[in-house]
Amino acid sequence: PEASGTKTGTHGYVTVNGMKFRCVSAGEGPLILLVHGFPQSWYAWHAVMPLLAGSHRVVAIDMRGYGQSDKPAGFWNYHGAQLARDINDIVHALGYDKCVLIGHDWGGVVSWLTAHIYPSLVERLVIMNAPHPRAFEKNVTLQQFFKSWYIFFFQIPFLPEIMMSMNDYAAVALGLVGKRMGVKDRTHVTKEDIAMHKFQASQPGAMTAGINYYRAIFMQPALPTKTVACPTLMLWGEEDGALTKNLNNGLERWVPNVTIRYLPGVSHWVPEEKPDVVAASVKDFLKA
Protein backbone atom coordinates (compact mmCIF):
# COMPACT_ATOMS: atom_id res chain seq x y z
CA PRO A 1 0.00 0.00 0.00
CA GLU A 2 2.79 2.44 0.79
CA ALA A 3 3.94 2.55 -2.82
CA SER A 4 0.60 3.94 -4.02
CA GLY A 5 1.05 6.97 -1.78
CA THR A 6 4.18 8.07 -3.62
CA LYS A 7 2.03 9.15 -6.57
CA THR A 8 0.57 12.04 -4.60
CA GLY A 9 3.71 14.03 -3.87
CA THR A 10 7.30 14.05 -2.71
CA HIS A 11 7.91 12.17 0.52
CA GLY A 12 10.45 13.53 2.98
CA TYR A 13 11.11 14.16 6.65
CA VAL A 14 11.79 17.06 8.96
CA THR A 15 13.27 16.72 12.43
CA VAL A 16 11.93 18.98 15.18
CA ASN A 17 11.82 18.58 18.95
CA GLY A 18 14.21 15.67 18.53
CA MET A 19 11.62 13.78 16.49
CA LYS A 20 11.27 12.84 12.83
CA PHE A 21 8.04 13.75 11.03
CA ARG A 22 7.03 12.50 7.60
CA CYS A 23 5.93 15.25 5.22
CA VAL A 24 4.37 14.69 1.79
CA SER A 25 4.65 17.75 -0.42
CA ALA A 26 3.12 18.87 -3.72
CA GLY A 27 3.19 22.19 -5.56
CA GLU A 28 5.05 25.46 -4.94
CA GLY A 29 4.15 28.73 -3.29
CA PRO A 30 2.71 29.78 0.07
CA LEU A 31 2.29 26.91 2.52
CA ILE A 32 -0.89 24.95 3.16
CA LEU A 33 -0.31 22.47 5.99
CA LEU A 34 -2.74 19.54 6.25
CA VAL A 35 -3.21 17.79 9.60
CA HIS A 36 -5.05 14.44 9.78
CA GLY A 37 -7.16 12.79 12.45
CA PHE A 38 -7.51 9.41 14.20
CA PRO A 39 -6.69 6.70 13.21
CA GLN A 40 -5.14 8.00 10.02
CA SER A 41 -2.03 9.53 8.43
CA TRP A 42 -1.07 12.04 5.76
CA TYR A 43 -2.98 9.81 3.31
CA ALA A 44 -6.31 11.18 4.54
CA TRP A 45 -5.54 14.17 2.27
CA HIS A 46 -4.26 12.34 -0.80
CA ALA A 47 -7.28 13.26 -2.95
CA VAL A 48 -7.33 16.89 -1.76
CA MET A 49 -3.65 17.66 -2.27
CA PRO A 50 -3.45 17.78 -6.09
CA LEU A 51 -6.56 19.98 -6.19
CA LEU A 52 -4.83 22.65 -4.08
CA ALA A 53 -1.27 22.31 -5.37
CA GLY A 54 -1.72 24.62 -8.36
CA SER A 55 -1.24 27.78 -6.29
CA HIS A 56 0.37 26.60 -3.04
CA ARG A 57 2.92 24.25 -1.59
CA VAL A 58 0.65 21.68 0.01
CA VAL A 59 2.21 19.56 2.74
CA ALA A 60 0.42 16.72 4.54
CA ILE A 61 2.14 15.35 7.64
CA ASP A 62 2.04 12.25 9.75
CA MET A 63 1.47 13.67 13.22
CA ARG A 64 3.61 12.39 16.07
CA GLY A 65 2.80 8.76 16.73
CA TYR A 66 1.30 8.10 13.30
CA GLY A 67 2.44 6.46 10.08
CA GLN A 68 6.15 6.94 9.50
CA SER A 69 6.66 9.69 12.08
CA ASP A 70 8.37 8.97 15.39
CA LYS A 71 6.30 7.51 18.21
CA PRO A 72 7.42 8.50 21.71
CA ALA A 73 6.25 6.22 24.50
CA GLY A 74 3.95 7.51 27.22
CA PHE A 75 0.61 9.25 26.88
CA TRP A 76 2.04 12.40 28.47
CA ASN A 77 3.98 12.97 25.24
CA TYR A 78 0.72 13.62 23.40
CA HIS A 79 -0.75 16.57 25.28
CA GLY A 80 -2.18 19.50 23.37
CA ALA A 81 0.57 22.05 23.98
CA GLN A 82 3.19 19.62 22.65
CA LEU A 83 1.12 18.81 19.57
CA ALA A 84 0.67 22.51 18.79
CA ARG A 85 4.39 23.05 19.23
CA ASP A 86 5.00 20.31 16.66
CA ILE A 87 2.92 22.22 14.11
CA ASN A 88 4.71 25.49 14.79
CA ASP A 89 8.14 23.91 14.52
CA ILE A 90 7.29 21.86 11.41
CA VAL A 91 6.15 25.02 9.60
CA HIS A 92 9.44 26.73 10.42
CA ALA A 93 11.45 23.63 9.50
CA LEU A 94 9.77 23.71 6.09
CA GLY A 95 11.11 27.24 5.63
CA TYR A 96 7.98 29.30 6.39
CA ASP A 97 6.91 31.64 9.15
CA LYS A 98 3.17 31.30 8.50
CA CYS A 99 0.73 28.98 6.79
CA VAL A 100 -2.84 28.19 5.91
CA LEU A 101 -3.56 25.49 8.49
CA ILE A 102 -6.16 22.84 7.68
CA GLY A 103 -7.13 20.15 10.17
CA HIS A 104 -9.69 17.36 10.43
CA ASP A 105 -10.80 15.44 13.54
CA TRP A 106 -7.80 15.35 15.96
CA GLY A 107 -5.89 17.39 13.40
CA GLY A 108 -8.64 19.97 13.77
CA VAL A 109 -8.33 19.99 17.56
CA VAL A 110 -4.57 20.48 17.26
CA SER A 111 -5.15 23.22 14.69
CA TRP A 112 -7.49 25.07 17.08
CA LEU A 113 -4.83 24.90 19.78
CA THR A 114 -2.12 26.04 17.38
CA ALA A 115 -4.17 29.07 16.33
CA HIS A 116 -4.55 30.06 19.98
CA ILE A 117 -0.98 29.37 21.11
CA TYR A 118 0.84 30.56 17.94
CA PRO A 119 -1.51 33.16 16.43
CA SER A 120 1.12 34.72 14.17
CA LEU A 121 1.76 31.32 12.56
CA VAL A 122 -1.76 30.79 11.24
CA GLU A 123 -2.68 33.12 8.40
CA ARG A 124 -5.99 31.35 7.77
CA LEU A 125 -7.58 28.35 9.45
CA VAL A 126 -9.82 25.60 8.05
CA ILE A 127 -11.40 23.06 10.41
CA MET A 128 -13.40 19.95 9.52
CA ASN A 129 -15.55 18.12 12.05
CA ALA A 130 -13.56 19.11 15.09
CA PRO A 131 -15.34 21.28 17.67
CA HIS A 132 -13.56 24.16 19.27
CA PRO A 133 -12.48 23.03 22.78
CA ARG A 134 -14.40 25.77 24.58
CA ALA A 135 -17.48 25.35 22.40
CA PHE A 136 -17.43 21.63 23.13
CA GLU A 137 -17.37 22.28 26.88
CA LYS A 138 -20.21 24.77 26.60
CA ASN A 139 -22.47 22.73 24.30
CA VAL A 140 -21.95 19.11 25.31
CA THR A 141 -25.28 17.37 25.89
CA LEU A 142 -26.27 13.99 27.27
CA GLN A 143 -26.63 12.78 23.69
CA GLN A 144 -23.10 13.93 22.89
CA PHE A 145 -21.81 12.40 26.13
CA PHE A 146 -23.02 8.98 25.02
CA LYS A 147 -21.68 9.53 21.49
CA SER A 148 -18.29 10.19 23.09
CA TRP A 149 -18.19 6.84 24.93
CA TYR A 150 -15.00 5.84 23.11
CA ILE A 151 -13.03 8.64 24.81
CA PHE A 152 -13.60 6.90 28.15
CA PHE A 153 -13.03 3.44 26.69
CA PHE A 154 -9.65 4.60 25.37
CA GLN A 155 -8.54 5.42 28.93
CA ILE A 156 -8.29 1.66 29.64
CA PRO A 157 -4.74 0.31 29.22
CA PHE A 158 -3.98 -2.18 26.42
CA LEU A 159 -7.55 -3.34 25.65
CA PRO A 160 -8.41 -0.59 23.12
CA GLU A 161 -5.28 -1.35 21.10
CA ILE A 162 -6.13 -5.04 21.06
CA MET A 163 -9.68 -4.42 19.88
CA MET A 164 -8.69 -1.83 17.25
CA SER A 165 -6.13 -4.20 15.74
CA MET A 166 -8.21 -7.39 15.75
CA ASN A 167 -9.08 -9.09 12.44
CA ASP A 168 -6.50 -7.17 10.44
CA TYR A 169 -7.51 -3.77 11.81
CA ALA A 170 -11.15 -4.28 10.92
CA ALA A 171 -12.18 -1.42 13.23
CA VAL A 172 -10.22 1.03 11.09
CA ALA A 173 -12.11 -0.05 7.98
CA LEU A 174 -15.42 -0.09 9.86
CA GLY A 175 -14.89 3.47 11.03
CA LEU A 176 -14.32 4.66 7.48
CA VAL A 177 -17.01 2.70 5.62
CA GLY A 178 -19.25 1.20 8.33
CA LYS A 179 -22.93 2.07 8.67
CA ARG A 180 -22.75 4.30 11.77
CA MET A 181 -19.54 6.26 11.26
CA GLY A 182 -18.58 5.58 7.66
CA VAL A 183 -18.78 7.69 4.52
CA LYS A 184 -22.23 8.01 2.99
CA ASP A 185 -20.87 8.30 -0.55
CA ARG A 186 -18.07 5.88 -1.44
CA THR A 187 -17.28 7.47 -4.81
CA HIS A 188 -13.87 8.63 -3.59
CA VAL A 189 -13.11 5.80 -1.14
CA THR A 190 -11.64 2.70 -2.75
CA LYS A 191 -10.48 -0.66 -1.46
CA GLU A 192 -6.94 0.59 -1.97
CA ASP A 193 -7.67 3.57 0.28
CA ILE A 194 -8.98 1.30 3.03
CA ALA A 195 -5.89 -0.90 2.70
CA MET A 196 -3.65 2.16 3.01
CA HIS A 197 -5.38 3.37 6.19
CA LYS A 198 -5.07 -0.10 7.72
CA PHE A 199 -1.42 -0.30 6.70
CA GLN A 200 -0.59 3.03 8.34
CA ALA A 201 -2.50 2.08 11.50
CA SER A 202 -0.56 -1.19 11.68
CA GLN A 203 2.86 0.47 11.93
CA PRO A 204 4.62 -0.59 15.16
CA GLY A 205 3.41 1.59 18.03
CA ALA A 206 1.01 3.63 15.90
CA MET A 207 -2.25 2.42 17.42
CA THR A 208 -1.07 2.98 20.99
CA ALA A 209 0.23 6.41 20.03
CA GLY A 210 -3.05 7.41 18.38
CA ILE A 211 -5.03 6.29 21.42
CA ASN A 212 -2.59 8.20 23.64
CA TYR A 213 -4.02 11.42 22.19
CA TYR A 214 -7.24 10.49 24.01
CA ARG A 215 -5.39 9.40 27.15
CA ALA A 216 -3.81 12.85 27.33
CA ILE A 217 -7.08 14.65 26.63
CA PHE A 218 -7.42 15.78 30.25
CA MET A 219 -4.00 17.48 30.02
CA GLN A 220 -5.17 20.10 27.52
CA PRO A 221 -3.50 23.50 28.02
CA ALA A 222 -5.08 26.73 29.09
CA LEU A 223 -5.63 28.84 25.97
CA PRO A 224 -3.42 31.96 26.07
CA THR A 225 -5.75 33.92 23.79
CA LYS A 226 -9.50 34.17 24.29
CA THR A 227 -10.28 34.18 20.58
CA VAL A 228 -8.92 32.97 17.26
CA ALA A 229 -8.30 36.18 15.34
CA CYS A 230 -7.53 34.84 11.87
CA PRO A 231 -10.19 34.22 9.21
CA THR A 232 -11.57 30.73 9.82
CA LEU A 233 -13.64 28.33 7.73
CA MET A 234 -15.41 25.38 9.27
CA LEU A 235 -16.66 22.57 7.04
CA TRP A 236 -18.94 20.18 8.92
CA GLY A 237 -20.39 16.93 7.63
CA GLU A 238 -23.85 16.73 9.16
CA GLU A 239 -23.98 12.93 9.22
CA ASP A 240 -21.18 12.63 11.76
CA GLY A 241 -21.76 9.56 13.90
CA ALA A 242 -19.59 10.82 16.76
CA LEU A 243 -20.14 14.60 16.91
CA THR A 244 -23.35 16.63 16.83
CA LYS A 245 -23.38 19.94 15.02
CA ASN A 246 -24.87 21.76 18.01
CA LEU A 247 -21.31 21.67 19.38
CA ASN A 248 -20.74 24.70 17.15
CA ASN A 249 -23.46 26.81 18.80
CA GLY A 250 -22.07 30.20 19.75
CA LEU A 251 -18.73 29.50 18.08
CA GLU A 252 -18.42 33.20 17.19
CA ARG A 253 -17.71 33.89 20.88
CA TRP A 254 -14.29 32.25 20.50
CA VAL A 255 -13.84 32.58 16.73
CA PRO A 256 -15.35 35.94 15.70
CA ASN A 257 -14.18 35.74 12.09
CA VAL A 258 -15.63 32.31 11.32
CA THR A 259 -17.69 31.03 8.42
CA ILE A 260 -19.46 27.71 8.98
CA ARG A 261 -20.55 25.59 6.04
CA TYR A 262 -22.63 22.55 6.88
CA LEU A 263 -22.54 19.67 4.40
CA PRO A 264 -25.83 17.73 4.38
CA GLY A 265 -25.55 14.01 3.81
CA VAL A 266 -21.78 13.98 4.42
CA SER A 267 -20.15 11.89 7.14
CA HIS A 268 -17.41 12.68 9.63
CA TRP A 269 -14.79 11.88 6.98
CA VAL A 270 -15.10 15.08 4.94
CA PRO A 271 -11.66 15.04 3.20
CA GLU A 272 -12.08 11.46 2.02
CA GLU A 273 -15.76 11.65 1.10
CA LYS A 274 -15.82 15.06 -0.59
CA PRO A 275 -12.28 16.08 -1.63
CA ASP A 276 -13.65 18.17 -4.48
CA VAL A 277 -15.95 20.11 -2.16
CA VAL A 278 -13.11 20.61 0.31
CA ALA A 279 -10.76 21.93 -2.36
CA ALA A 280 -13.35 24.24 -3.92
CA SER A 281 -14.35 25.59 -0.50
CA VAL A 282 -10.74 26.23 0.48
CA LYS A 283 -9.99 27.99 -2.82
CA ASP A 284 -13.02 30.26 -2.41
CA PHE A 285 -12.05 30.95 1.19
CA LEU A 286 -8.51 31.92 0.25
CA LYS A 287 -9.78 34.29 -2.44
CA ALA A 288 -12.18 36.06 -0.08
Q: Which residues does the annotation mark as catalytic?
A: 105, 214, 268
Q: Are 237 and 267 in contact (CB under 8 A)?
A: yes
- Residue among 172, 1, 209 nearest 86 (CA): 209
Q: Are 269 and 106 in contact (CB under 8 A)?
A: no
Q: 50: cis peptide before it, omega within 30°?
A: no
Query: Rounded CA gap, 12 and 195, in Å?
Result: 22
Q: Are 57 and 25 in contact (CB under 8 A)?
A: yes
Sign of the torsion angle spanned by Cα atoms 67, 74, 101, 171: positive
Strand (E) or helix (H) holding 185: none
Q: Name, in order, each residue with C-beta under 8 angstroms of 123's C-beta and a sequence gap of 6 or more.
A: 30, 98, 99, 100, 230
**Residues recorded for the chain:** 288
